[in-house]
Every structure is written in structure tokens, then in C-alpha cells.
Structure 1
Amino acid sequence: MGTTEEINIKGGKKSTYKKVLKVFLVVGLLFIALIGYGFYALFIDMNRLPTGEYLTEETSPDGKYTLKAYVTNGGATVSYAVRGELVFNEKSNKTKNIYWNYREENASITWTDNDTVVINGHSLDVPKDKFDFRNQ
């Protein structure tokens, strides 16, 4: 049998191993969370879209919403894209991006009823629906 000192040393090694393992686990989880947030910010979040140049706008039949369209020029290597911004006229002009499509330069906007808008052939039930070409 070992002495009391030998037992404490063995128990101390296991405790240190567990602490190091926990630190690596926490750091790994934080790294994965950071990568996940970066992916979300770059590829999913519609609030980070470029502003673009104003194209046109159409107001819903009841006047509750206005959809404004903007075109963005990506430069020499990226095609044009259209961004649709929904304006809540009754909520002090709060805005929300609901449309983002690549390789478009024009926007055709038609309201079929008070809550349904068709943008370049894509029908959206506002304010809950969104169209983003990156998620198709």
C-alpha cells in the first residue's frame, strides 16, 4: 500500500488533468460560438446588407407598409443585387430588409393585397416572410 503522500499526489494529478480538460473544453466552445456568429453575420443576417442606390418604391393598398427597392453595385467582380426594404408607416417608419437577390438590376414591385407583395416574381407575406438568395 502507498503512503498518504502518494495517494494525495495521484489525486492531485487527476484534479489537474480535469481542470486542463475543462479549460480546453470552454475555449473550444467559445471558438465554435465565434465561428458560428461570424458565419451568421456574413451569410445570414439581412441587417448587414449594403445600402445601395434607390430604385423605386410602392405603398401597400391600406398604406400600412411601403416597400423600397435599392440596387447595389458589387464592383468589377460581383454582379448587381437588389435589396428590398419594408417600411412600417404606422410605426414611425421602422424598417426591415425582406428581399435580397443577386444578379438583378431592376425591381418590379406589385402589391396583390394589404399584406402580400410580389418583388421580381417572388411573393412575400409581409412582415413575416423574407427572400434571400443566399438561403435558397
Structure 2
Amino acid sequence: MKKIVKSFLIVFLILFVIAAYGIYWAFYDMNRLPKGDYLTEQISPDGKYTLKAYVTNGGATTSYSVRGELVFNAKNLKTENIYWNYREETATIVWTDNDTVVINGHTLDVPNQKFDFRHP
């Protein structure tokens, strides 16, 4: 009986982990966002970061969206998507200091903070 319960718990745990990853992949992973067309970019005051903005067209049934990509200038790190907002076609980027950027009115402390309209 113990083996059956233990086996059931292991199978349940494996299925739970797979389902949790699937939900993350489908709804939270910002690396799956569409590339889009280049809009503009701004370099941080210390030159450590560049924020590039792209506009994406979802097709006839959805509105335009803006994606913000953080580039690490000093290091050979992979770029990060830190901004994703729906119903926008332009991007206004202002660096308020070396690590704080305002994108279309949304203030982010880079590189740790992100904005994704799907998750308020």
C-alpha cells in the first residue's frame, strides 16, 4: 500500500511540475514575445544599458503592442524583454538615472523590474 501511495505522489508531482511550467511558458515567459519592428532606443546616462523599443502588429483581430528590450552594453549578456504593453504604437523612453527608465509612463528599475500588461 505504501508503494502505491508513494508512486501516486511521484506521478502527481511530476504532472504538477509539467503543468506549472506549461502555464509559465504560455502566459508569463516574456522571451516568447514577437520581435516586432524597431521604433527607437535610448542609452542610459552611464552607458551601461540600452533600451530598444519595438512595435508589434498582432494582426487584424488585435491592436499594436510595444516591446522594450534591455541590452547590457558592458557585458556579453543576453538581452532581456522588460516591457510589454498592449494598445500602444509609439515609445517614449526617458532615463531618470543610471538604473531607472520610464517607458510610456511606466517607471522601471533595471535590470530587475519588468512591466507586462498581462500581469498587473
**TM > 0.5 fold call:** yes
Return the match for 1:64 from 33, 48, 51: 48
Q: CA 1:95–1:20 in structure 2 vs 1: closer, same or farther (change >3 Å)?
A: same
Q: Give the match's secondary structure for 1:134.
A: coil
Deviations 1:10-65 (A, max 9, x none): xxxxxxx3322222221111111111001111111212211111111011111111
Is residue 53 from structure 1 mapped to residue 45 from structure 2 by the alignment?
no
Q: Distance in 2 between matches of 1:94 and 1:21?
A: 44
Identity of aligned residues (%): 71
Aligned pairs for 1:1-136 (under 5 A) are 17-92=1-76, 94-136=78-120
Q: Distance in 1 between matches of 2:78 and 2:17?
A: 30
Unaligned runs of 5+ in 2: none
Deviations 1:78-131 (A, max 9, x none): 221111001111013641111111111111111111111110000111111111
Computed over aligned residues only, the root mean square deviation of the Cα atoms, in angstroms, reads 1.4
Q: CA 1:93–1:35 in structure 2 vs 1: closer, same or farther (change >3 Å)?
A: closer
Q: Distance in 2 between matches of 1:21 and 1:92?
A: 48
Q: Distance in 2 between matches of 1:93 and 1:19?
A: 46
Q: Give the match's secondary structure for 2:79.
A: strand
Hey, what does 1:3 align to over in structure 2? none
Which stretch of the first structure deviates more once superposed, 91-100 or 46-55?
Answer: 91-100
Q: Indicate the structure with greater helix content.
A: 1
Aligned length: 120
TM-score (norm 2): 0.91
Q: Distance in 2 between matches of 1:19 and 1:93?
A: 46
TM-score (norm 1): 0.82
